Structure 1
Amino acid sequence: MQAPAPSSGYPFTLAGQTLLALGSGALWWPDRRLLCVSDLHLGKSERFARRGGAPLPPYETRDTLMRLHRDIEDYQPGIVVCLGDSFDDTAAAQGLDDEDRLWITRLQAGRRWVWIEGNHDPGPVDLGGTHLAELPQPPLCFRHIADPAQSGEISGHYHPKAAIRTRVRTISRPCFLIDGDRVILPAFGTYTGGLRSSDAVLDTLMRPEALAVLTGPTPRPMPMPR
């Protein structure tokens, strides 16, 4: 199956590489056939229940895996990079039911799969693939949390979101933040929440000309709200 045409995502360049910000929240690097997603937070509802938190519908893991499945079917990547916080904690990874574990195994079949270390899931998981602190793919580097001193960097962690105002309402969506040094991916997982792009930590990380690309059926670029 051939990958979709570039019109199915928002194209931009980083360190001379053409990348696509997909409406799903995934990032596609066509030249490397690399699909990247961040902050899946699989098992979040289970962790909330285990720790006595507010109950969440127990279907977020399957919803997240279904959306990831669709992107993998559409783009047929040779490499999938999960950019940290793939699981809500180590116990959530260990507590996945057999059906979900089998689903992940099937998604991994025939391709390289990399679990990047996050602050929620700092240790290796027994779910196939490779566990790394970060993944250099020159001229780009994939890590969980942005390093302000680096360039050509792809990261996640902050779950950025931005709002767009229409005549009748304000719509808030997860978004990519993009400038000449880095891209920060939105959280891909269901029930992950988000941090407004105007937050001081994101304002400091991103250059003045940064864009926010809102997720959705048609990815929509706009100047990063500050």
Structure 2
Amino acid sequence: MMRGHAFQLHETPVVALAEAALFLPRTQTLIVSDLHFEKGSAFAVKGVMLPPFDTAETLRRLEALLERLSPKVLIALGDSFHDRGAGARLAETDRAKLESLISQTQTIWIEGNHDPEPPAWLAGQRAAEVQHDGLWFRHEPSGQVPGEVAGHLHPCARVTGKRGGSIRRRCFATDGRSLIMPAFGAFTGGLNLFDPAFDGLFQGPVHALMPSGTGPTAKVHAIAAKNLTPSH
């Protein structure tokens, strides 16, 4: 069952999934961005103690998607590991789970600014960017390439209701020509679409595709930029 918002991205049919991943039905490809494995342990090294379960939770969610969709190709859009030492800090159970998951499909690891050199033991293809199914996949958005799919910025959106209440959630950001993916990782924050970092990255009006709910009732809502509000 496909829980998400289907649309055309630069003439390629795609589905923005409620789980903060993208699916290409034509080639049975699953895309996730900014997994940030071992972000919690990176903070612990610096004396900031966070619950050490972020990698396990991210892998659990990824496993659920792979089991449900059985993709032929998995593309990870960079910053899959939070830093160069993250691969060595993985718990044995988490490493075994990751290796098992990527053995089930063709996996492409896009280089990110946090992980320009993924762990040597990691199976799969490595690339700075890749063209696939009429789209260009890279970590940092340029705003210059039609059909570009990128991550890096961890977009989120805020919507204010008629009674003054508001919700803030991670989102996909797209103008139909290019797309910036939400972060998939458990400990990843979000950058509001009104942040100057997004200036110049879209050629047309931007929509936020905002996931809501969980499980069978999960949905993705397309919200026009005029209905979004800045963060306080």
TM-score surpassing 0.5?
A: yes
Read off the aligned partner of 2:106 and give its amino acid letter. R
Of residues 189, 206, 209 in structure 1, which corresponds to 2:205? 209
Measure, in 2, the Cα distance between the counterparts of 1:203 and 1:172: 20
1:20-59 to structure 2, matched below 5 A, reads: 20-52=15-47, 54-59=48-53
**Percent of aligned pairs with the same amino acid:** 38
| Offset, 1:181 | 2.1
Maintained 8 Å contact 1:21/1:28:
yes
Read off the aligned partner of 2:223 and give its amino acid letter. M
Alpha-carbon RMSD across the aligned residues, in angstroms, is 1.4
1:159 is aligned to 2:158: no
1:106 is aligned to 2:100: yes
1:185 is aligned to 2:181: yes
Maintained 8 Å contact 1:197/1:203:
no
Give the paired residue count: 220
1:174 is aligned to 2:170: yes
Measure, in 2, the Cα distance between the counterparts of 1:100 and 1:111: 18
| Offset, 1:138 | 4.6
Of residues 111, 115, 120 in structure 1, which corresponds to 2:109? 115
1:133 matched residue in structure 2:
128
| Offset, 1:154 | 0.5
1:221 is aligned to 2:216: no
| Offset, 1:208 | 4.0
2:215 matched residue in structure 1:
none
Read off the aligned partner of 2:156 and give its amino acid letter. K
Read off the aligned partner of 1:132 and give its amino acid letter. A
Of residues 138, 145, 164 in structure 1, which corresponds to 2:140? 145
SS in 1 for 2:43: helix
SS in 2 for 1:213: strand
What are the ranges of 5 or more consecutive residues in structure 2 without an aligned counterpart? 213-217
| Offset, 1:97 | 1.3
SS in 2 for 1:90: coil
1:87 is aligned to 2:88: no
| Offset, 1:204 | 2.2
Read off the aligned partner of 1:222 and give its amino acid letter. I
1:198 is aligned to 2:194: yes
Measure, in 2, the Cα distance between the counterparts of 1:59 and 1:149: 38
Measure, in 2, the Cα distance between the counterparts of 1:185 and 1:124: 20
Maintained 8 Å contact 1:26/1:185:
yes
Read off the aligned partner of 2:200 and give its amino acid letter. T
> Please, which moves more after superposition, 120-129 or 33-42?
120-129
Measure, in 1, the Cα distance between the counterparts of 2:192 and 2:206: 14
Q: 1:138 to 1:219 in 2, by over 3 A?
A: closer
SS in 1 for 2:93: helix
